[in-house]
Amino acid sequence: MKRTLTAIGAVCALLSATAAWANDKVVMGTNWLAQGGHGGFYQALADGTYEAYGLDVEISPGGPQVNNRPMLSAGRLDFLMAGNLLLSFDNVRNGIPTTVVAAFYQKDPQALMTHKGQYADFAALSGAPTVLVSKDGQFSFWEWMVQAQGFKNEQLRPYGYNLAQFLADDKMVQQAYGTAEPIYAREQGAEVDVFLLADNGWNTYAATLETRQQLVDENPELVQRFVDATIEGWVNFLYGDHTPAYDAIMAANPEMTVEKLDKEVAQLKALEIIDSGDALEKGIGALSQERIKAFYDLAVSSGIVDAGSVDLSKVATSQFVNQGHGLDLKAKLTGQ
């Protein structure tokens, strides 16, 4: 009997250990090559936060030859770091059953960049001779700029993601991602001013976290663990020792260096992209249905989205955020 009980105990111990080891497999995709703007995810992976939450996470980077967006609805990804809300509106319009569960950028980093001191403020840019805007931008925020901010189509010229035109003309205004082109321009000796669209009315969230509606319905506990762990990853990345994330990012993208990452993180902080607005009181990742509705109204009034084309109840859910998660950790790290 004693040997039998011992054997049973050994089996139970083995099963318990196996359960502890068998973390839930999660694959999340990013929207580009590994960079500082993805830091919270890499931090949570590299410092063991995901593992502590019982998650075995694989990060699948995007890139010039990789489009991770369709991989989410196809079941190849469980979560996707997406762009702004226009992409989520498109999914709902097209009947793709995904939903936003967190918004890690409270501000869209999309901006206009000028040579330093050439223009007094954002309003003055509507009088610039030329504004360089990419094809995608022409069908999104440029429409808003024309309809609501006084810009004119006569100013518009295509932006081909090359700084040559900008560097050669002190009066030139060009589209910029707040954590990219300003850094590149300064590296080439040009001092610049950065006018964030978000500070002038372009009120979309960015770096949204999407998942399939099926996962929200069938396994909300897993979604909550992933969101909570990622929030902690962002807090540790911004306010703690971000060395684990830096190492993981540089391993995934050899073009990254500590110097480049430091500059990018400095821009994220200076422009208050992540920890601002509702995130200050509700925690990083905060989102509200009211703000989603406000951006939808902006998109409709600017002619970007057709009125009545989006069921806003399907765009996002706030059930996994707005709980103040990570605020205690932030206070501990910052001493505030």
Tell whether 308 and 212 lie within a shared domain.
Answer: yes
Number of domains in the chain: 2
* The model's pTM: 0.91
Q: Determine the pLDDT at residue 6.
A: 47
- Among 200, 230, 250, which residue terminates a domain? 200
Distance, in Å, from the CA atom of 133 to the CA atom of 207, rounded to the nearest integer, reads: 21
Tell whether 81 and 156 lie within a shared domain.
Answer: no
Tell whether 100 and 145 lie within a shared domain.
Answer: no
Tell whether 66 and 123 lie within a shared domain.
Answer: no
Tell whether 138 and 230 lie within a shared domain.
Answer: no
Tell whether 162 and 292 lie within a shared domain.
Answer: no
The CATH number covering residue 34 comes to: 3.40.190.10
- Bin 99: left if φ > 0, else alpha if -120 < ψ < 50, else beta: beta
Tell whether 93 and 17 lie within a shared domain.
Answer: yes
List, for the chain, all residue ranges whose pLDDT scores fall below the cut of 50. Answer: 1-20
Domain containing residue 306: 2-106+204-334
Q: Phi and psi dihedrals of 100, rounded to 5?
A: -85, 130
Contact between residue 51 and residue 23 where contact means Cβ atoms under 8 Å apart: yes
Q: Determine the pLDDT at residue 21.
A: 56
Q: Determine the pLDDT at residue 66.
A: 79
Q: Determine the pLDDT at residue 67.
A: 86
Distance, in Å, from the CA atom of 164 to the CA atom of 187, rounded to the nearest integer, reads: 13
